[in-house]
């Protein structure tokens, strides 16, 4: 199935907890979108930390089209990674994944969310702003392999009623269907 073959309203996305069997597809996407991709061993070590990590893969049909991860530290949820196959950009896959991470972080008791994003990645920054993330600083040379700075962004009070309304409004604007079939442990 190709992204160009689907109208947004017809798109059915399934989100599942990432498992070892998904990593070949995840690494294929990782290599397409990051100058220095995470390794198989890094993903395996992240997946082993079940009490503080949550990783999802997004499927359209039988194809993995994206993935995302969350690390919990006390009451802070940290988005560790989020990536969508370039062929599936502009299909709200990233939005669906970030919704799943936000819900999972809240379920685990998060009161705030944070992430780092490349200073030059304006489309990702715009996505994060829609989720209430605000810039709070810059980490110089955070992405050492490309000598790029990272914009540090935070979303506060994610356990509150206003954030619930924000997530509901974002969800209402996503065409098609999203089914979370399998929760991370």
pLDDT at 2: 60
For 185, half-sphere exposure in the C-beta direction (CA atoms, 13 angstrom radius) is 7
Active site residue 116: yes
Measured between alpha carbons, how far is 84 from 28 in angstroms, rounded to an integer? 11
> How far apart, in Å, do the first and last CA atoms of the chain sit?
30
Measured between alpha carbons, how far is 154 from 8 in angstroms, rounded to an integer? 29
Residue 45's CB: how many other CB atoms inside 10 A? Answer: 12
Which carries the bigger pLDDT value, residue 16 or residue 35? Answer: 16
pLDDT at 145: 77
pTM score, whole prediction: 0.92
Q: pLDDT digit string (tens) for 79-136?
A: 999 999 999 998 999 999 999 999 999 999 999 999 999 998 999 999 999 999 999 9
Examine residue 182 and state whether it is found in any structural domain, yes or no.
no
Examine residue 49 and state whether it is found in any structural domain, yes or no.
yes
What is the mean pLDDT of the segment spanning 45-52? 94
Active site residue 56: no
Per the DSSP assignment, residues forming a β-bridge with 12 are: 177
Examine residue 181 and state whether it is found in any structural domain, yes or no.
no
The single residue of 55, 116, 143, 163 carrying the catalytic annotation is 116
Examine residue 2 and state whether it is found in any structural domain, yes or no.
no
Examine residue 185 and state whether it is found in any structural domain, yes or no.
no
Range of the domain at 145: 10-175
pLDDT classification of 184: cutoffs 50, 70, 90: low
Number of domains in the chain: 1
Examine residue 159 and state whether it is found in any structural domain, yes or no.
yes
| Percent above pLDDT 90 for the chain | 77
Examine residue 72 and state whether it is found in any structural domain, yes or no.
yes
Measured between alpha carbons, how far is 122 from 119 in angstroms, rounded to an integer? 7
The single residue of 55, 56, 67, 128 carrying the catalytic annotation is 128
| Percent above pLDDT 70 for the chain | 93
CATH of the domain at 137: 3.40.630.30
Examine residue 109 and state whether it is found in any structural domain, yes or no.
yes
């Amino acid at each position: 199935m190709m992204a160009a073959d689907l109208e947004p309203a017809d798109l059915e996305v399934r989100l599942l907890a990432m498992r070892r069997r998904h990593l070949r597809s995840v690494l294929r996407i990782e290599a397409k979108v990051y100058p220095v991709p995470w390794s198989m061993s890094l993903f395996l070590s992240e997946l082993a930390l079940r009490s503080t990590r949550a990783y999802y893969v997004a499927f359209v049909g039988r194809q993995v089209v994206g993935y995302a991860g969350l690390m919990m530290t006390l009451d802070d949820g940290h988005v560790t990674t989020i990536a969508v196959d370039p062929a599936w950009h502009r299909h709200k896959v990233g939005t669906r994944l970030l919704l799943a991470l936000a819900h999972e972080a809240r379920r685990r008791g998060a009161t705030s969310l944070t992430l780092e994003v490349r200073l030059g990645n304006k489309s990702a920054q715009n996505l994060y702003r829609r989720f209430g993330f605000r810039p709070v600083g810059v980490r110089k040379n955070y992405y050492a392999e490309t000598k790029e700075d990272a914009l540090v962004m935070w979303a506060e009070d994610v356990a509150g009623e206003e954030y619930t309304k924000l997530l509901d409004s974002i969800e209402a604007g996503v065409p098609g269907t999203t089914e979370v079939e399998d929760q991370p442990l």
